[in-house]
Chain A
Amino acid sequence: MPEVEIRQVCLFYGSKQALFDIDLDIGRREVTAFIGPSGCGKSTLLRCMNRLNDLVDNVRVTGSIRLSGGEVLDPTLDVTDLRKRVGMVFQKPNPFPKTIYENVAYGPRILGIKQKARLDEIVERSLHSAAIWEEVKDRLHDNALALSGGQHQRLCIARTIAVEPEVVLMDEPCSALDPIATTKIEELIHELKQQYTIVIVTHNMQQAARVSDHTAFMYLGRLVEFGKTDKLFTTPEKQETEDYITGRFG
């Protein structure tokens, strides 16, 4: 059974429609990549899954997104609960201006965990999982902003998985990073796949090809093609997909 089922999702900014009847199944403990040109709605769709679009005025979403069977778009749903289950890593690494330790402990503290020992354990485990423990273990109480860009992003991943979400959304997580840092994040995604369902939006098609199991190609707010990544990147079915992945666009 898929972890996330997206059915007939339409999204409107005021009167302007940005997503058109999206149908998509996101498999449990798989990496699903959304690709497509800028403005195609892939980030918007991603933000529907943790209702971060609610922050924008005049947004209306119709259709259904079910997370492990529960309706995400239900207006009575407590979005903070949802967001604890659906973590998110952003395009620009956004560590808080706090210590490394406090960054990772932020989510657990919100969840109400207060015991020092528990927090210590969660912080260490999360940093381990995010493959940054070795680099920061001696300076957990230094300001997080002093780390490098790649470390920032891994710290943000650690912060996200510290609350043990079911799904991790990644919105172009490597677009601000150099190739080495990008490779580390991609390795990390492979690791995280063992435990988490990952949805990644990326501009970098090769990245989608490298890290994902399934890829969705979106264009002008519509889901053009969705399928196994190797299939989509070698023998896509739609001409638009073919043109996009081979770089014949615009």
Chain B
Amino acid sequence: MNVSFGKFWKSGDPFIWMTGGALALSLIMIISLIVIVAANALGYYWPDRLVQVTLKDGTELLGQRIVSEPIPTPDTPAATVQSRTEFQVANRDLYGADFRWVNDADITARSFPAEALLFERWEWGPLFGFLTTVTQDGKVIAEGFARAWDKFQEIHPRTQETLERIHRIERKEIGDINYALEHARLGLKRIQTEERDPARAAKYVTALEQEIATLQHRYAEKAAELKTLYDENARYRFLVRAAGGKEKELPVAAVVRAFLPNQLSWWGRFKLYVTRLVEFVWDDPRESNTEGGVFPAIFGTVIMVLIMSMMVVPFGVIAALYLREYAKQGPMVRAVRIAVNNLAGVPSIVFGVFGLGFFVYVLGGGIDRLFYPEALPTPTYGTGGMLWASLTLALLTVPVVIVATEESLSSIPREWREGSLALGATKWETIRKIVLPGALPGILTGMILAMARGAGEVAPLMITGVVKLAPTLPLDAHAPFFHLERKFMHLGFHIYDVGFQSPNVEAAKPMVFMTTMLLIGIILLLNLTAIIVRNRLRNRLRFGTF
């Protein structure tokens, strides 16, 4: 018994089982995390049927079934346990709550009315109900479901086009005018503070004031146009009867999309599903981030990771090159190396605080005083922004790049270096032509690790430039196109904000999962790209054995 156990132990089998088991456990945990996220996220946009439920007390409900569960009653035997169901009844403005729990025992009838409509609205969340009338300028133009629905479908696209036009004017055209106005105002301010020659100052001031007047005139024109458009949209309204008899009248333009969930074919559902997914990825958020898309957050995340990579890789590589190739190896270098490794263990919030203190206040404040004094006290660079957040993350991830680069530099065979030196190459030529190309796959591995780490960080960003809702992207048509001083949105922070800071947590829950999945997907995509690039390089560099 003892002998055979000893043999078993010596054979190494237990160790193999142990290692395999550890791996399996890790895999199970990771896979279940992804499965939970995916399951919760992917189902969210699938258009469910609307069920109409009549309760014992005569109340009627129209909604989507969310979940059923047994009612936790400790004293009753299992067989008689009652269950309850959660419905999303929507119509937040009518009922005050989106969700409602119903005891299954109370339900007397269920039906799936074909005429039940689901309106997705720009504000106040979805609306479930039955269309009764459509009005134009206060006059009823269609009555009864069939005719009203036809009319609605006819009018709705027009209103959305008008709305799009309104958005364009508000965002783009008026935005441009405002931008120019701001510019002119700052110019005015600069002249007042800087220009010594009163004659010339007066000339500039006149010119600028004239420009401002023109701009204000154009602004007024646009405002008038806007008003016309708003008025046009306000003409069309429709009346909806919600379950329970309450009625609600609202403008057709307030609806994003309306459909009959109980009449949809599978194909129709699928098309709708895809439309909603696309909307999620490409649109701006609505309803304090709980609805609509997350495009600004995706954009912010990707741009930030890219800027961070552009900053961190050269820095890390150069530092590692010095440490490994040029510095005289000794206690000093060893100490630096240990310090770098330890830097990777500093809590990320500490980096955030440092970023705020050093980058934002010292560097940003300095830049403002030097280059943007006219805008003060409104800070330009002296507040959190894309650049400072990226720099902070670069600082956070630089140890990863240094360690990975050093590792790969030390794996370059001595023979290659000596071969190059023996041909009369200088040390720098050797590093540039032999060592760095050979170390490139390792450097890219470092970059991948840094990107993965950086894309997943939230804490330091919260104090260096991330906001829950950024009005503009850091990239637009105004020169210099990249506005790295702007605040931006980030998927990681979006998750936190939607999940924990939202007024309507229940409604926002699926959004959290969707965003999480998206973030994981984006990190995966970034990494895959880097991995593919790295493997290409590696294949080019090392094949054959020797």
Contact = CB atoms under 8 A, between A and B. Distances in A.
A80 B426 CA distance: 6
A160 B423 CA distance: 7
Interface string A109-139: 0110000000000000000000000000000
B421 A83 contact: yes
Given A96-B416, A143-B540, A149 B546 contact: yes
Interface stretch (B190-198, B339-347, B430-438): B430-438
A159 B424 CA distance: 12
Interface string B15-53: 000000000000000000000000000000000000000
Contact of A50 (B416, B422, B429, B433): B422
B429 A146 contact: no
Contact of B424 (A93, A97, A107, A143): A107
A152 B413 CA distance: 15
Interface in A156-173: 156, 159-160, 163
Interface string A71-109: 000000000111110011010111011000000001100
A97 B542 contact: yes
Nearest to B539: A143
A55 interface: yes
A90 B429 contact: no
B543 interface: yes
Contact of B413 (A84, A94, A147): A94
Nearest to A82: B424
B541 interface: yes
A110 B424 contact: yes
A106 B420 CA distance: 8
Contacts of A24: none
B423 A163 contact: yes
A181 interface: no
Contacts of B429: 110
B423 A97 contact: no
Given A96-B416, A145-B544, A83 B423 contact: yes
- A84, A88, A110, A111, most chain B CB atoms within 10 A: A110
Interface of B: 328-329, 413, 415-416, 418-426, 429, 433-434, 437-438, 540-544, 546
A145 B419 CA distance: 15
Contacts of A145: 542-544, 546
A90 B413 CA distance: 13
B423 A52 contact: no
A11 to B, nearest CB: 18
A152 B422 contact: no
11 contacts: A52-B418, A57-B329, A80-B425, A84-B424, A92-B415, A94-B416, A97-B416, A97-B438, A111-B424, A143-B543, A163-B423
A90 B422 CA distance: 10
Interface of A: 50, 52, 55, 57, 80-84, 87-88, 90, 92-94, 96-97, 106-107, 110-111, 143, 145-147, 149, 152, 156, 159-160, 163
A118 B523 CA distance: 48
A45 B354 CA distance: 55
A111 B540 CA distance: 25
Given A94-B418, A143-B540, A81 B546 contact: no
Given A82-B424, A83-B422, A94-B413, 7 more contacts: A52-B421, A55-B418, A94-B419, A97-B542, A106-B425, A159-B419, A159-B423
A96 B424 contact: no
Closest 4 CB pairs of A and B: A94-B415, A84-B424, A88-B422, A145-B544
B421 A55 contact: yes
B424 A163 contact: yes
A52 B422 contact: yes
B444 to A, nearest CB: 15
A160 B419 CA distance: 9
B542 A90 contact: no
A107 B423 contact: yes
A82 B422 CA distance: 9
Nearest to A90: B415
Contacts of B419: 88, 90, 94, 96, 156, 159
Contacts of A57: 328-329
Contacts of A149: 546
Contacts of A81: 424
A87 B174 CA distance: 72
A111 B423 CA distance: 9
Contacts of B541: 97
Contacts of B422: 50, 52, 83, 87-88, 90, 160
Contacts of B416: 94, 96-97
Given A145-B542, A152-B546, A97 B421 contact: no
A143 B426 contact: no
A152 B416 CA distance: 13
A173 to B, nearest CB: 13
Contacts of A163: 423-424
Contacts of A92: 415
Given A55-B421, A80-B424, A83-B422, A97 B437 contact: yes
Contact of B543 (A87, A88, A146, A152): A146
Contacts of B421: 52, 55, 83
B369 to A, nearest CB: 48
Contacts of B438: 97
Contacts of A94: 413, 415-416, 418-419
Contacts of A143: 540, 543-544
Contacts of A50: 422
Contacts of B425: 80, 106, 110
Contacts of A107: 423-424
B421 to A, nearest CB: 7
A97 B420 CA distance: 12
A87 to B, nearest CB: 7
A87 B415 contact: no
Contacts of A146: 543-544
B360 to A, nearest CB: 44
A14 B328 CA distance: 16
Contacts of A55: 418, 421
B419 to A, nearest CB: 4
Contacts of A110: 423-425, 429
Contact of A93 (B418, B540, B546): B546
A202 B366 CA distance: 66
A57 B333 CA distance: 15
A152 B425 CA distance: 20
A65 B405 CA distance: 39
Nearest to B433: A106
- B418, B421, B424, B434, most chain A CB atoms within 10 A: B424
Contacts of B437: 97
A89 B426 CA distance: 18
A87 B423 contact: yes
A96 B426 contact: no
